[in-house]
Structure 1
Amino acid sequence: MPRTIAVPRELTTAPFAGTAAVAAGLLTRRQLQGDTWCRLLPDVYVWSGLALDHRTRCLAAGLHLRGRGAISGRSAAGLWGAGVLVRDGPVEVTVPLSTRLRAPDGLAIVRSPLPPYDATERAGVSFTSAERTAFDLGRRLPVVEAVVAVDAMLAAKLITKSGLAAFATDRPGWPGIDQLHTVLLASDAGAASPQESRLRVLLLGSGLPRPVTQHVVRTAVGIFVARLDLAYPTWKVGVEYEGDHHRGRGQFQRDLRRMNALNACGWTVLRFGVADIRDNPGATVAAVRAALDRVGAYQHHRG
């Protein structure tokens, strides 16, 4: 009967350096090669019973870096709390231009200036500051996704527009800085989801007026009716993104009551799904433009 290997409790909650565990007498080198442990990066292991989510992989990357760089990009945004920006795939890392570091499987390395004040450290893991994280995402991602990223960090109150603008002003000439200024103009702290951001950017990029985010509609006597994702209050036209959670029967009934109440207040509300934004952007814009046209809006935006 195979002998059961005792698993040290202190090694079950996070990645650890194999050499450190061996030096502390917690494991032997032979035990590290067994099925109980999973090697994530050179000399970085994790208990096989621990969920390998992106945060765990970030902690592993931090051990591997040992102060030679910082977790950055979408990965850093996730550590800051903007989890909607995290994608499956390698952990994003920034290292100084002078640092020689090969990228093992599981890491995506960017070489860029990285002054000490552009990073912070928690639990032994170094990652870019909130402003540097937004700065990098805003200038490196495609424009629409860059706005999505900055929106998410604004909504989470991790940064402010003025703070990010000041951060950028201190770094003239950095690659992508012109795009970042464009992204800042288009960004909005009121976006409640990435799809809302994409929908708003689609409308703006098509020459429509800038909508108000999270607009509260009330009756004539001040009773709350609804909060609209995007709205043109002057003309009482609302635009909303509908996710899959609206498909349930209970939510569907609530949506019907909500739409009826908005109609009673004189509002026209258009609702779009992910396929409308991704696959039929022209039709989506045309529908909003037609709704605005019916109420005599935005003629001065034509050209």
Structure 2
Amino acid sequence: MVVSARVPPCLSSLPFRGSRAVTDGHLTWTMLRGPTWVRLLPDVYVHRDAHRVDDHRMWCEAVALRLPPGAVLAGRSAAWLFGAYVLTRDTPVTVLLPSPARVRPHPRLLVTRSPLPGPDRTRFAGLPVTTPLRTAFDLGRHGPRVEALVAVDALLRRRMVRLPALRDYAAERLGWPGAPLLREVLALAEPLSESPMETRLRLLLLDAGLGPLTAQHEVRAGGRFVARVDLAWPALRIAVEYDGDHHRERAQFRRDVARLNALRAAGWVVLRFTADDVLRRPEATVALVRQALAERRPTATPH
């Protein structure tokens, strides 16, 4: 009768180096070739019960096991580890390599090269990453423009980075690639933006020439708090809100109705938009907001 090797807890939940597991006597190469283990990268395996094909944390753990000295996780991967959710489902792991380090290409790996001084490196959640400041700097200088702003807003929202510190950091690196884009992103950045889609909606309106506007404005009537709105033109009492999927829940819907009625009673016009409005019908969205602003703006009295 064949007796299976005892599998330590660390091998049942996290990626590991196969050669190390074999050297330590936990597994054999024959076992690793069996159905219990999934090969992620050369010499990196994970237990089949812990394998999730689009689990970014799993891939970060796996890639970290293969990083050459001085290399770190960076870009969107680092931002995601810091709690800024700026990934799509199948986003590859971003690695920053200082020259002359090398890493084997892989479809789940995005390799970037750049100077990486010691102060720009740290460890977070047990993994080597660029610091939050360096992460925001890198993401803010690589397009597309809207994605750069979304990433910077997300890190600012998590309070992993402060906008003045990021501006100072960027000012010391004016010659780096992407510096002009970063300057534009920093001029548009909004730490109060509460979601990537809210950032996209705000940028859509600003690009249409409908600014300036105020993020997360508190509406008060008679000294009493009424509501906090995503985007506002306070002088005109016009609010624009992004409604995510959670607004479809019954309890949230009831709260939304009561809140909307309170804002209307306070004299506010509230326009609500979804992801489809922002991504697929941007012209119509801008036209609705432009019309509301025109209706509320006082017309000049002819002499």
1:120 alignment partner in structure 2: 122
Change (3 A) 1:165 1:86: farther
1:212-267 deviation digits (Å, cap 9, x = unpaired): 111111221x3222110111111111000111222233322222211111011010
1:170 alignment partner in structure 2: 172
Aligned length: 298
1:109-136 deviation digits (Å, cap 9, x = unpaired): 1122222221112465211110111111
**Amino acid aligned to 1:239:** V
The structural deviation recorded for 1:85 is: 3.9
The structural deviation recorded for 1:159 is: 0.4
Change (3 A) 1:35 1:231: same
Q: How does 1:144-159 map to 2 (within 5 A)?
A: 144-159=146-161
The structural deviation recorded for 1:294 is: 1.4
1:25-52 deviation digits (Å, cap 9, x = unpaired): 1112221211111111111111111143
1:289 alignment partner in structure 2: 290
Distance of 2:219 and 2:87 partners within structure 1:
30
Provide the secondary structure at the position in 2 that maps to 1:65: coil
The structural deviation recorded for 1:5 is: 4.9
1:83-126 deviation digits (Å, cap 9, x = unpaired): 34464232111111322333123211112222222111246521
Change (3 A) 1:9 1:278: same
Q: How does 1:58-77 map to 2 (within 5 A)?
A: 58-77=60-79
**Amino acid aligned to 1:28:** T
- 4+ residue stretches of structure 1 with deviation over 3 A? 1-6, 84-87
2:99 alignment partner in structure 1: 97
In 1, are the aligned partners of 2:6 and 2:26 still within 8 Å (CA)?
Answer: no
User: Which shifted more, 169-178 or 151-160?
Assistant: 169-178
Q: How does 1:92-241 map to 2 (within 5 A)?
A: 92-122=94-124, 125-220=127-222, 222-241=223-242
In 2, are the aligned partners of 1:38 and 1:48 still within 8 Å (CA)?
Answer: yes
Change (3 A) 1:5 1:179: same
**1:249 and 2:250 correspond:** yes
User: Which shifted more, 81-90 or 36-45?
Assistant: 81-90
The structural deviation recorded for 1:160 is: 1.0
Provide the secondary structure at the position in 2 that maps to 1:49: helix
Change (3 A) 1:253 1:177: same
**Amino acid aligned to 2:244:** G
The structural deviation recorded for 1:270 is: 0.6
Distance of 1:250 and 1:100 partners within structure 2:
53
**Amino acid aligned to 1:236:** R
In 2, are the aligned partners of 1:74 and 1:87 still within 8 Å (CA)?
Answer: no
Change (3 A) 1:281 1:200: same
In 1, are the aligned partners of 2:68 and 2:101 still within 8 Å (CA)?
Answer: no
Distance of 1:101 and 1:84 partners within structure 2:
25
User: Which shifted more, 191-200 or 161-170?
Assistant: 161-170
Provide the secondary structure at the position in 2 that maps to 1:158: coil
Change (3 A) 1:78 1:86: farther
1:129-151 deviation digits (Å, cap 9, x = unpaired): 10111111111131111111111
**Amino acid aligned to 1:16:** F
In 2, are the aligned partners of 1:41 and 1:105 still within 8 Å (CA)?
Answer: no
Provide the secondary structure at the position in 2 that maps to 1:174: coil
CA-atom RMSD in angstroms = 2.0
User: Which shifted more, 152-161 or 255-264?
Assistant: 255-264
Provide the secondary structure at the position in 2 that maps to 1:228: strand
The structural deviation recorded for 1:298 is: 11
**1:33 and 2:70 correspond:** no
Identical counterparts, % of pairs = 49
Distance of 1:106 and 1:55 partners within structure 2:
12
1:56 alignment partner in structure 2: 58
In 2, are the aligned partners of 1:209 and 1:298 still within 8 Å (CA)?
Answer: no
Change (3 A) 1:155 1:297: farther
**Amino acid aligned to 2:170:** A
In 1, are the aligned partners of 2:81 and 2:124 still within 8 Å (CA)?
Answer: no
In 2, are the aligned partners of 1:148 and 1:198 still within 8 Å (CA)?
Answer: yes
Change (3 A) 1:124 1:296: closer
Distance of 2:92 and 2:258 partners within structure 1:
45
Q: How does 1:266-277 map to 2 (within 5 A)?
A: 266-277=267-278
